[in-house]
Chain A
Amino acid sequence: MQMKSDILDTLARAVIDMDIALVQKTATEVIHHKVDPYEAIMDGLAKGMDTVNELFENEEYFVPEILLCADAMYAGIEILKPYLPKESTWNKRKAVIGVVKGDTHDIGKNLVKIMLDNAGFEMCDLGRNVPYSKFIDMAGELKADLVCLSTLMTTTMDGMQVIIEDLKKAGINSRVMVGGGPISPGFAKNIGADGYAKNAAEAVKVAKGLLNNTPLDLLPFSIPKLVYIKREKGGCIQ
C-alpha cells in the first residue's frame, strides 16, 4: 500500500529532521488511515531513530541533534500509544539506568537511555546523583536484565565498583554496563563490569551482546595492548 509506506517514510524522515510538528501531523494520519500503530512506531519512528544513531556514530549528528530527534520520536509515540493493543506482545528486556551518586551530569545517561529505549529495552531511569542502594533495590525489584551506570567525574567513578559488588552480594545477576567521560575499557574490566560502551550508539550493541549470552571474552572490551589506555571520550572538569 503506497500510502502506508509513505506515512512510515515520512515518520522516519521527520524524526531524522527533528521536525516535531511533522511527526505529530503524520502520527495523526496514522490513526486516521488506520495504519497499524505498532508498525508506525517500529518501522517509522524507531527506524528514523536508528538512522539518527548511525549519523551520531559517523559524527554527522551531535548531542543537540539526538536530543531533538528523540523529542520528535517521543511526540509521535505519545500520540500513537493509546491505540496500541492493550495486551502488548512486546517481551521487552528490562534495564535500570542512572548516574552514580555524587554526580549530576546526566546528558550522556539520557542519550544512552534514548538509544536503548529505541532498541526495545524497557528503561527504568533512576535519574542522576543516585544512591548506590537504589540501583540494587530497583534491579532486584524489576529483575532487571541490565544495569547501566554512568558518570562524568573521576571522583565518582569508584562508586560503580561498589554497586557491582553490592549487586553480587545481593544475589542479583543483572548484567552491568558502564560508561562516561573518565571510564576506560580497562577500568570497566577491573571493577568487574560486564560491558563498557564508549558512547550511546555503541551502548546498544554492547547491551544486545550482553543479553544474547555472548561469552564475556568476546564482548567489546578490546583492551589495547598498550602500557596504558586512552579514553575514547572525555570532558571531565565541571
Chain B
Amino acid sequence: MSYADEMTPKERMQAIIQGKEVDRLIVSPLILNFASRSLNLTVREFCTNGKNMGNANIACFKKYRHDIVYIFSTTSTLAEAMGTRMYFPEDDAPQVETPFIQTREDLKNLQPVTPEKDGRIPVYIEAVKRCMEAIGDDVFIVPVIGAPFTTSAALRGTEVFIKELYTDPELVHTLMKIATQSVKNLIDAYVKEGGVPATVEPVATGSMISEKHFREFVLPYLKEVYAHIHSHNLPGVLHICGKTKRVIQCMAESGADILSIDNINLQEARELVGEKVCLMGNISPADGMLKGDPEIITTMIRDCIAKASNNPKGYIVATGCEVPIKTPHENLVAFLEAGRRFAQLPINLSC
C-alpha cells in the first residue's frame, strides 16, 4: 500500500490512550461477520465454531492489517446464552427465533450467564484466545457484547419489550438488572483472556425510543457497565447504529469513552459531544461499502475526516455499522488505503 504504517495497530492504540504522538488516526472498519470471507467460510461455519471464528479473524487481520480486530456474530449472543432460541441462516448472521421470556413465569428460569459454558459464548472465548495467541502482540482483540437493553429486547422479543416501557416498566427493570449482570460477567470473562470488550446497544437507537425512555431505562444500566469496564482500567466503547442525534447526549453521559455512531452528521456530533468523548464512524455500510466503489468510498472517508478529525476527544475512522459480508474486496482495500492516506497526522486532506 502506498501509505505504509510506521506503528503496529497496538502501538498506535496504546500511544493514543497514553496521549503520546502517533503516525495517524486509527482506521477501523467494523469487520465482524465479514471476517468469515478470509477463510471462505459461511457465516454459520464461522460463528458456531471457535476455531473457525478465531482463525478467520487472524487470516483477515493478516490480509488487511486493520487497526482493531472485533469478535462478533450478532447482538443477541448474550440473550441466546441466557435462553433465547436463534435461527442460523446458512450464510448470514444469526437472528432471534424465539425469545426466552414468553410470560412472567419464565423469569424464574432467567439467570445471569456463566460465560464458560452458556450458549455460544465458549465459541467467542476460543476465538479471542486464538487471536490473542496469534496476533495479540500486534493488535487489540475486541469481543463485542450486546448491551443490557439490546440483550433484554432479545430475551423478551423487541416489539413486546418496547411496549412494556409503558405497560410493565417493572418487568423491563427486572430484565435490565439481570442482563446488566450478564454483561458484567461476560466482560470479566473476555478481559481474563486479554480481550478489550466493546458494547453495542442498537435497540436503544433514536429511531426506536425517545430520549426520555433512554434516560429512564437505558442510561443507568450503561453507566454500571462502563464503571465496570473502567474498573479493569479499560476504555468503554458504545456503538449505537441508526439515528442517534436524539440520544447522543445520553450516550456521552454513559461513561463510555468512545461513541461509535452511524446515521448522524459527524460535525453535528462533534459539536454536541466532542468535548466529552472520542467519536467513531460513519462511512455508510450499504451505499458505501456494499454498493459503492473505491472512488465513492474515498470521498466518504475524506468527508468524515474533514468533519471529525479535529474532535477534541479524538476521532476513529470507521464504518457506521457492520461491513456487509458481500462487500467487494476492493472496496475494503479502498477504505483502508484512503483511511491511511488521509488520516496521516497532521491532517492534510489535499495530499
A64 lies within 8 A of B166 (CB): yes
Contact of A234 among B76, B242, B292, B300 (CB under 8 A): B242
For A204-231 the 0/1 string (1 means CB < 8 A from B) is 0000000000000000000000011111
Q: Which of A80-88, A134-142, A150-158, A170-178 contacts B (4 or more CB under 8 A)?
A: A150-158
Cross-chain contact B209 with A63 (CB below 8 angstroms): yes
A42 an interface residue at 8 Å Cβ cutoff? no
Q: For chain A residues 49-106, which have a beta carbon within 8 Å of chain B?
A: 59, 61-65, 67-68, 71, 102-106
- Give CA–CA (A63, B254) in the complex, Å: 23
Dominant SS among interface residues on chain A: loop
- B147-173 contacts to A, CB under 8 A, are 158-159, 162-163, 165-167
For the complex, is B287 an interface residue (Cβ under 8 Å from A)? yes
Shortest CB distance A183–B (Å): 7
Do B299 and A227 have beta carbons less than 8 Å apart? yes
| B205 at interface, CB cutoff 8 A | yes
Residues 83-98 of B, flagged 1 when their CB comes within 8 A of A and 0 if not, give 0000101001101110
Interface pair B321/A183, CB less than 8 Å apart: no
Chain B neighbourhood of A230, CB < 8 A: 263, 284, 287
Asked whether, in the complex, the Cβ of A233 is within 8 Å of the Cβ of B284, the reply is no
A-B CB pair tally, cutoff 8 Å = 130
Does B307 sit at the interface, judged by CB under 8 A?
A: no
Contact B321 A237 (CB under 8 A): yes
Whether A238 lies near B291 (C-beta < 8 A) is: no
In chain A, what residue has the closest Cβ to B200? A237
With both beta carbons as reference points, the residue of chain A lying nearest to B212 in the complex is identified as: A62
Number of interface residues of B (CB under 8 A): 52
**In the bound complex, do residue B263 and residue A64 qualify as a contact, i.e. CB atoms below 8 Å apart?**
no
Interface size on A, residues (CB 8 A): 40
A236 touches B162 (CB 8 A): no
Q: Which of B6-14, B184-192, B322-330, B338-346 contacts A (4 or more CB under 8 A)?
A: B322-330
Nearest Cβ in chain A — how far from B13, in angstroms?
Answer: 22
Interface check A181, CB cutoff 8 A: yes
| B246 CB to nearest chain A CB (Å) | 7
Structural contact, A234 and B207, CB atoms closer than 8 A? yes
* Known contacts A64-B162, A68-B166, A228-B288; A234 and B262 CB within 8 A of each other: yes
Judge whether B208 and A238 touch: CB under 8 Å: no
Q: B92 contacts which chain A residues (CB < 8 A)?
A: 102, 153, 155-156
Query: A20's closest neighbor in chain B, by CB?
Result: B167
Q: Are A62 and B285 in contact, with the CB atoms below 8 A?
A: no
A38 interface hit (Cβ, 8 Å): no
Q: Find chain B residues with CB under 8 A from A64 CB.
A: 162-163, 165-166, 209, 213
**Considering the chains assembled together, what is the distance between the CA atoms of A181 and B239 in angstroms?**
16
Complex alpha-carbon distance, A238 and B300, angstroms: 24
Residue of B nearest to A237 (CB): B322
Pairs A-B, 5 closest by C-beta atoms: A235-B242, A182-B286, A154-B324, A234-B263, A236-B321
- Name A residues whose Cβ lies closer than 8 Å to a Cβ of B: 18, 59, 61-65, 67-68, 71, 102-107, 110, 153-157, 181-184, 186-187, 227-238
Q: Besides A63-B209, A104-B95, A184-B287, 19 other CB < 8 A contacts? A: A63-B162, A67-B163, A71-B163, A103-B95, A104-B97, A157-B286, A187-B291, A228-B284, A230-B284, A231-B263, A232-B263, A234-B205, A234-B243, A235-B205, A235-B321, A236-B242, A237-B75, A237-B321, A238-B75
Q: List 22 A-B contacts (CB under 8 A).
A: A62-B209, A64-B162, A67-B162, A68-B167, A105-B95, A106-B159, A154-B326, A155-B93, A155-B325, A181-B242, A182-B290, A229-B287, A231-B263, A232-B263, A234-B241, A234-B320, A235-B321, A236-B241, A236-B286, A237-B74, A237-B239, A238-B95
